[in-house]
Structure 1
Amino acid sequence: MGEKKPYLAVILVQSIYAGMFLVSKAAFNGGMNNFVFIFYRQAVATLFLAPLTLLLEWKNRPPLPFVTFCKIFLLSLCGITLSLDIYGIALVYTSATLAAATTNCLPVITFFLALLLRMEVLRLRTSSGIAKLIGIAACMAGAATLAFFKGPHFKLLCHHQIFGSNDSQELAGHVSSGKTWIKGCFLMLMSNSFWGLWLVLQAGILKNYPSKLLFTTLQCFLSSIQSFVIAIVLVRDPHEWMLGWNVRLLAVIYCGIMVTGVTFYVQAWVIEKKGPVFLAMSTPLNLVFTMVCSAILLCEIISLGSLMGGVLLVGGLYSVLWGKNKEEKMNDKNCIIVDAEKGCLELKQVIPVANKGQLPV
């Protein structure tokens, strides 16, 4: 059972993310404002993580310089507040299935941004470099297919929408518009680009501020303030802020606790046990879970273009990850060879010194 735990953990993580797309889409279908939702979500996450931070890391927290605080503030604005706000607008325009499909772009977008910032290297004369380039091209082709090609539509096993609402039919007609769908795809990719930039930039901050739980809690707190300012400026109707015992409250609690809280620890445990590549390889499970559940529970109509685009995105993801994994193995092999050569050189230097100390026969 111990060997199966990482596999069960990644299934749990991707199931939680699939649930995030479903309940978020259901809340938006029910008329919840996206900007209000993001504020409530980050506020719940902050309230959930703050006691854990005080209990586990507050006593041993490192000092927080003002420059580092400003970096964390900008990182929260870029990677969390803007990313989630844009993601919410895109989810209103598109579907939960497309949101799950575009998450397969995230590792590729992250690699591309790291390449632009010279944190990664693309060697086109090697098989790993060619695989990375093919993966990026496949990802771009998948995103274009999702945006511009629909094809035949499929409606699977849905007779009654579980999270039904009076606005669902109106919203479905709104989503079917080609212009709004393309706009939603563009915004979804922009959201993933902000998220990828957040992943790339936070590595440098964590070197100076290694307290991961406190770092995450501080980002949630700052993003709560930022999203509140955005929401209060754009949403003036008090009725938009009311939750009630409905799918809105469920979506806020689920995304705040399960997505931000639980998956943080589970993902950290999986990375520690199996590494980040193993976790990234499980991303397509999210697409499968979301596609099936959204078709059955939300009565979303799946198009052939969504299926083809999802396949291209998954293929591009695995191509980049394969190239990255092979490159890491090659680097490890070169390091072993260099260490062996260095050891032989040191041994050759020691032997003559030892021979000088011997008496002639």
Structure 2
Amino acid sequence: MKVFLGIFVLLESHKPYLAMLSIQFVYAGLALFSKASIDKGMNPCIFVVYRQAFASLVLAPFAFFIERKKAPPLSFILLCKIFLVALCGITLSLNLFYAALNYTSATFAVATTNTIPAITFIMAVLMRIESISIKNQYGVAKVLGTVTCVSGALIVVLYKGPSIKFMNWYPSVHKEFSHSSVINCSPKMEWVKGSLMMLSANAAWSLWLILQGPMIKMYPAKLRLTNIQCAFSCIQSAILASALNRNPSSWKLGWDVHLLSVAYCGIIVTGITYWLQVWCIEKKGPVFIALFTPLALLITAIFSAFMWKETLHWGSVGGAILLVGGLYGVLWGKKKEKEVETAGPNEPRQNEAKEEIRLECITHQ
């Protein structure tokens, strides 16, 4: 009995760690299932429509019942602002992300998501939401981390390098990590185009993260705000998909990988994972959540090696290491900056926009 009680206590104290590990598996599955569905012929724009539809339906009852007393009334001007934010952020980001999967791999997609904190930091500095001070150790760490992260992304995009021989499990029909499988069957410019689209998707997502601060000030019901943006994104993506694809049969969903993928991304990723992240943030804080982000890259690379028979390459691995190292540099700098700000009794509290960016930087595609 004491043994079971000890195990229960141990699991109880490690709940946040287990939750974050589960979340990284979920995010790895997002890239893998999405890649599988698009490779099987599903139109990327239509994929976004169905994903956002599932997400809206899942979040709607929670948003209605949990925040029915908290949510302020919606004016027409506020709805227009939410519509534009969803268009510039969610719709643009997701459509670019899934279109880029045509030219890249699931592993590369997950690898480039590690650039989101760095891109968000750069945008926040340009908008004067974040500040840079190289006089302090944490300021230098943020700058060097951002540069390292962006450099790693460029290496992953532009340099493949020799293959890792001991990881070549399928020598006769192997595919290469990141972009090599694309290069084998299409011109190099196709790969570059896909890479730039993926980075543009991350930039659009970073812009959306920054805009969430002002939006939450105007409409503090976060769950309803997320639900409304998902619904608007679904409508916008449906218009885009209808304009680009006139074939009605491409909208059909059967009991296959297409239905599984959109349901997984909409219900599991947007619905369940959202709540797990919020719970972990309350327990451990946003920096703790962000530290687990690179695990999704490792998990995706391992599963891709078996599912897609991809072979790792030294150049791609080196770029991924720089990505992760730069991410940790930025996070460490932010953590130290926050500690310094909260240590002084006379220091003013940071504005809510900064806090929202810190929190939202850990969210995924």
TM-score bracket, shorter-length normalisation = 0.7 to 0.9
Residue 326 of structure 1 deviates from its aligned partner by 0.7
**Partner of residue 247 from structure 2, selected from 233, 237, 253:** 237
1:34 — aligned with what?
Answer: 44
Q: Does 60-69 or 88-97 show the bigger shift?
A: 60-69
Following the alignment from structure 2 to structure 1, what is the Cα–Cα distance between the partners of residues 39 and 184?
Answer: 11
Letter in 2 for 1:134: L
Following the alignment from structure 1 to structure 2, what is the Cα–Cα distance between the partners of residues 186 and 172?
Answer: 14
1:167 — aligned with what?
Answer: none
**Partner of residue 182 from structure 1, selected from 178, 187, 192:** 192
Following the alignment from structure 1 to structure 2, what is the Cα–Cα distance between the partners of residues 43 and 50?
Answer: 11
1:254 — aligned with what?
Answer: 264
Residue 298 of structure 1 deviates from its aligned partner by 2.1
Residue 331 of structure 1 deviates from its aligned partner by 1.1
**Partner of residue 74 from structure 2, selected from 21, 40, 64:** 64
1:325 aligns with 2:328: no
1:292 — aligned with what?
Answer: 302
2:5 — aligned with what?
Answer: none
Aligned residues of 1:26 and 1:298 also touching (Cα < 8 A): no
* Equivalent runs, 1:1-361 vs 2, <5 Å: 1-154=11-164, 156-157=168-169, 172=182, 177-335=187-345
Following the alignment from structure 2 to structure 1, what is the Cα–Cα distance between the partners of residues 295 and 306?
Answer: 17
Going from structure 1 to structure 2, the CA distance change for 1:338 and 1:17 (only over 3 Å counts) comes to: closer
Following the alignment from structure 1 to structure 2, what is the Cα–Cα distance between the partners of residues 85 and 337?
Answer: 42
Aligned residues of 1:43 and 1:220 also touching (Cα < 8 A): yes
Aligned residues of 2:341 and 2:347 also touching (Cα < 8 A): no
Residue 111 of structure 1 deviates from its aligned partner by 1.1
Letter in 2 for 1:37: F
Aligned residues of 2:104 and 2:182 also touching (Cα < 8 A): no
Residue 158 of structure 1 deviates from its aligned partner by 5.4
Following the alignment from structure 1 to structure 2, what is the Cα–Cα distance between the partners of residues 26 and 315?
Answer: 29
2:355 — aligned with what?
Answer: none
Following the alignment from structure 1 to structure 2, what is the Cα–Cα distance between the partners of residues 337 and 227?
Answer: 45
Residue 72 of structure 1 deviates from its aligned partner by 0.9
1:286-312 per-residue CA deviation (whole Å, 9 max, x = no partner) reads: 101111011111223332222111100
1:318-337 per-residue CA deviation (whole Å, 9 max, x = no partner) reads: 01111111111111112368
Q: Which has the larger radius of gyration?
A: 1
Which secondary structure state, in structure 2, belongs to the residue aligned with residue 236 of structure 1? coil
Residue 243 of structure 1 deviates from its aligned partner by 1.9
1:208-248 per-residue CA deviation (whole Å, 9 max, x = no partner) reads: 21111111110111001000000000011122112211111
Following the alignment from structure 1 to structure 2, what is the Cα–Cα distance between the partners of residues 29 and 331?
Answer: 48
Going from structure 1 to structure 2, the CA distance change for 1:95 and 1:104 (only over 3 Å counts) comes to: same
Aligned residues of 1:22 and 1:290 also touching (Cα < 8 A): yes
Residue 79 of structure 1 deviates from its aligned partner by 1.4
Going from structure 1 to structure 2, the CA distance change for 1:159 and 1:13 (only over 3 Å counts) comes to: farther
2:360 — aligned with what?
Answer: none
RMSD: 2.1
Following the alignment from structure 1 to structure 2, what is the Cα–Cα distance between the partners of residues 101 and 242?
Answer: 31
Q: TM-score, normalised by structure 1?
A: 0.87
Q: Does 258-267 or 147-156 show the bigger shift?
A: 147-156
Which secondary structure state, in structure 1, belongs to the residue aligned with residue 344 of structure 2? helix
Q: Does 178-187 or 27-36 show the bigger shift?
A: 178-187
Which secondary structure state, in structure 2, belongs to the residue aligned with residue 93 of structure 1? coil
Letter in 2 for 1:86: L
1:231-268 per-residue CA deviation (whole Å, 9 max, x = no partner) reads: 00001112211221111111010001011111111111
Q: Does 238-247 or 13-22 show the bigger shift?
A: 238-247
1:354 — aligned with what?
Answer: none
Aligned residues of 1:22 and 1:294 also touching (Cα < 8 A): yes
Going from structure 1 to structure 2, the CA distance change for 1:57 and 1:146 (only over 3 Å counts) comes to: same
Following the alignment from structure 1 to structure 2, what is the Cα–Cα distance between the partners of residues 260 and 190?
Answer: 21
Q: How many residues align?
A: 330
Q: TM-score, normalised by structure 2?
A: 0.86
Following the alignment from structure 1 to structure 2, what is the Cα–Cα distance between the partners of residues 175 and 140?
Answer: 27
1:122-173 per-residue CA deviation (whole Å, 9 max, x = no partner) reads: 1011111111111111012111101110012355545999xxxxxxxxx856
Letter in 1 for 2:307: L
Following the alignment from structure 2 to structure 1, what is the Cα–Cα distance between the partners of residues 71 and 185?
Answer: 47
Residue 273 of structure 1 deviates from its aligned partner by 1.2
In structure 1, the gaps of 5 or more residues are 162-170, 340-361
Going from structure 1 to structure 2, the CA distance change for 1:70 and 1:253 (only over 3 Å counts) comes to: same
Going from structure 1 to structure 2, the CA distance change for 1:146 and 1:46 (only over 3 Å counts) comes to: same
Following the alignment from structure 2 to structure 1, what is the Cα–Cα distance between the partners of residues 339 and 70?
Answer: 36
